[in-house]
Structure 1
Amino acid sequence: MTSSPRSDTETHLRRSLSALSLHLRQAPEAMRPDVPRFVSYDQLRRTDGTVVGRKKVILMSGGCSVPTCTMCPFTNENNYGLHRAPGALLAQVDAVLARTTGEPDYSMLALYNDGSFFAPREIPVDVRLAIAERVAAAGVTHLVVESLPQFVTGKALGPFVQRLGPVALEIGVGLQSSDDLVRETLVNTRITRPVFERALAAMREHGVVPKIYLMIKPPFLTDGEAITDVVQSVAYVRALGVDGVTLCPTRVSRNTVAWQLYENGQYQPPNLWTVVEAVRRAHEAAAVRVACINLRGSDFESVFPDSCPDCADGIVDALLRYSETGDPADLPTSCGCRPALAAVPLDHGVIVERGLRALAAAGTQVPA
């Protein structure tokens, strides 16, 4: 399946968003220390229903080499734009793998670099293979990394999987949406469906498990359109043979297009009840979990999905339980603040015009 041809107005919106997104990125004033910027431990429900202990680590890196997404906050937190020694990543991995007294037990290591693990500009091939060897010797059973799909090729996977030996590999891919307009323009990520499907094929060939991320309410969508987008995207991914997905409610962080829109009254993160409704509907098609860090705000400053003070914490707690159990009975049911929610079709023409009006109303200066 090929991407739909873009209209002139969509092309204009996409180019405007690409230029603005890159323009808003800011490098830190000084190099941040070469230590992981985030470490946590939790229990993770896998798509087969088993629960495993997970150590999640976000390495201090040079950031994404393709930082065009309208909502991505990670360049605010790493050494984006600054030259750094590739070996610093390997030293961080060595420190992460050194088991310490009192450390929670885990068999799964999620190792993220705020970008694409398989992009040579971000992690050189020799460093990547050295990481695989160290992980293989560390006693974990599963390794999870992330990458844009254009970097997930048989040539990249073969040697890495071989060095991992018995350690199972899972690769997270932020597809964000199956809808071409939403994914390529509103989110503004450099992913096409053919590239995504080729990456899935390469993963299957090498015994790698795909971990697919979908957004809930990217910029320019209404909450009703967001529900439709999630349901359609889950169905698309499921049809490709992927058993489970992770839903990521959009948050708003500085130095992003989403922040500019929010500051000017042109965007609001999804209502927490929208998240619940999207999860309920997606649950019918595939195993679903929610990236609840996007709701707690525990890693950095952002504006997060919300509801009223009476139910917000309860909803987040319920979504955390659901993400562990997979039981929809754990989801909340009602509150006086719950808005009427109905799935709304994705009318591309309407959405594009809304996007252009939002940029104009926000007074956003798009670089030439």
Structure 2
Amino acid sequence: MPEYALDSSATVKDLRRRIGDLSLRLRTSGTQTKPAEPRFVDYDLIRLPNGDVAGRKKVIIMSGGCSVPTCTMCPFTNLNNYGINGATSHDSLLDQVRRTVVRTEGEPSYQVLSLYNDGSFFAPREIPRDVQVEIARLVAAAGVKRLVVESLPQFVTEPVLAPFVRALGKVRLEIGIGLQSADVLVRETLVNTRISQVSFERALTVMASLGVDPKIYLMVKPPFLTDGEAVTDVVQSVDYLAGLGVQGMTLCPTRVSRNTVAWELWQAGQYTPPNLWTVVEAIRRVHQRLAVRVACVNLRGTDFESVFPDACPLCADRVVDALMRFGETGEADDLPEDCACRPPVEVTGLDHAAITTRAARQLAVLERSGV
């Protein structure tokens, strides 16, 4: 019997710890404090939960980053002031938001403001409570109709959310939660996110009671999974969300960036991002059960060094363009037709014992190489 062949709770716990420790060791943001200004600003169109399409301004403010950066694929600690004590002050956060909400001449029209901080907006270690509420007041006075932020669900509680919603007034709030997968092994060990089913469902209940819309993210092919398992993971996760009454979600094809476990696995020949046709296959299997939005603006982007999901040179751009159209319209007719390059995908179940064995072996490859 090969080592790690049993999907026992002790084996999974050990694997989770080792993956989490490696993920944290790989984190870096350098030693030089980055300027106190938004690190990313962009304008696009986004499909709202009710199906309408609206102009959006997307801003990522410079912050101290995520307070629990254990996820195996997330690169954002490279881009903020993670680990640099005192690099981002309360005043700096507020000043960035004040400048963000000022309408400038020639600025594209938008009704939605997506305001991200490379972590959990409602985590007090990242954005203090008083700063959160003051940001809500600034947004309320800015004339937008909808604010989108992101947070781990354990920080989304009634005592935290209620004053924020009151300060927003008529601005509708949407909170993005990176559930990533409904499968506990995939979510808590392979992705290594600190989200439990209990905290997620509790956050949904709190949000519903306060009239806040959920924006749920699911990954396509987290590290350690195959393309065939990835499709099953998306389908089962959608079934779970639909059972909770969630009406839509955002699908995030995994990209590979430096200083992450995913990058080290890719470098060692142990992982590849999902093929673009795997993304299409997952969408075709779930889009009739709930609204699917696709976060694919950066699939072939250059905002930071990454290895993106891809296909053959003849069809890759066409597939990306089609996914972007589908992200706006939600119409299956906008999905791409097949290409001769499309690799066969054997959609398989999530065999926890087999996945645990494989993940342990792949992790051991990194450990033996000194990563």
Both proteins in one fold, TM over 0.5: yes
Instruction: Report TM bin, short chain.
Output: over 0.9
User: How far apart are the structure 1 equivalents of 2:334 and 2:297?
Assistant: 18
What is the match of residue 25 of structure 1?
A: 27
Q: Does 1:257 align with 2:261?
A: yes
Percent identity between matched residues is 64
How far apart are residue 361 of structure 1 and its match? 2.5
Contact conserved, 1:265 with 1:362, CA < 8 A, in 2? Answer: no
CA contact (8 A) 1:71 1:257 kept: yes
Equivalence map 1:31-180=2 (5 Å): 31-83=33-85, 84=87, 85-180=89-184
Q: Secondary structure at the match of 1:362?
A: helix
Question: 1:303 pairs with 292, 307, 321, which one?
Answer: 307
Task: Give the deviation of 1:48 after TM superposition.
Answer: 1.6
Residue 190, structure 1, aligned to residue 194, structure 2: yes
Matches within 5 A, 1:150-299: 150-299=154-303
2: CA distance between counterparts of 1:153 and 1:50?
Answer: 29
Amino acid across the alignment from 2:213 = V
State whether residues 72 and 256 of structure 1, in contact with CA within 8 Å, keep that contact through their aligned partners in structure 2.
Answer: yes
**Equivalent of residue 344 in structure 2, options 340, 344, 347:** 340
AA matched with 2:28: Q
Paired residue total: 363
Normalized against structure 2, the TM-score is what? 0.96
Distance in structure 1 (CA, Å) of the matches to 2:301 and 2:124:
31
CA distance in 2, matches of 1:151, 1:168: 19
| One-letter amino acid of the counterpart of residue 171, structure 2 | V
For residues 296 and 154 of structure 1, the distance between their equivalents in structure 2, rounded to whole angstroms, comes to 39
Note if contact 1:42-1:53 (Cα within 8 Å) is conserved in structure 2.
Answer: yes
State the shift of 1:6 in Å.
Answer: 5.6
5+ unaligned residues in a row in structure 1: which ranges? none
Does the 8 A contact of 2:215 with 2:248 survive in 1?
Answer: yes
CA-CA distance at 1:192 after TM superposition: 0.6
Q: For 1:267-324, what per-residue CA distance to the aligned partner results, in whole angstroms no more than 9, with x for missing partners?
A: 0000000011111112021100110134122321101001110000000000000011
Q: Secondary structure at the match of 1:296?
A: coil
Cα displacement (A) at 1:65: 0.1
Tell me by how many angstroms 1:360 deviates: 1.8
C-alpha deviation, 1:231, in angstroms: 0.6
**2:56 and 2:113 in contact (8 A); partners too:** yes
Question: Which whole-Å CA distance do the structure 1 matches of 2:230 and 2:298 have between them?
Answer: 16
Coordinate RMSD, CA, aligned: 1.3
8 Å contact from structure 1 (residues 231, 281) kept in 2: yes
User: Quick one: structure 1 residues 223 and 102, their matched pair in 2 at CA, closer, same or farther if it must change by over 3 Å?
Assistant: same
More deviation, 79-88/254-263: 79-88
Give the Cα–Cα distance (whole angstroms) in 2 for the partners of residues 150 and 6 of structure 1. 27
Alignment of 1:5-16 (within 5 A): 7-16=9-18
Q: In structure 1, give the amino acid aligned to 2:68.
A: V
| Aligned residues of 2:31 and 2:84 also touching (Cα < 8 A) | no
Q: Is the 8 A contact 2:73 2:261 kept in 1?
A: yes
> Per the alignment, do residues 364 and 247 of structure 1 end up closer, same or farther by CA in structure 2, a change over 3 Å counting?
farther
Distance in structure 1 (CA, Å) of the matches to 2:50 and 2:210? 20
- Which of 321, 338, 341 pairs up with 1:317? 321
Q: Tell me how far apart the structure 2 counterparts of residues 294 and 180 of structure 1 sit (CA, whole Å).
A: 28
TM-superposed CA distance for 1:363, in Å, is: 4.2
Change (3 A) 1:144 1:364: farther
The Cα of 1:362 is off from its aligned counterpart by 3.3
1:47-103 alpha-carbon deviations (Å, 9 max, x no partner): 321111110001111000000001111001111001221221111001111100110
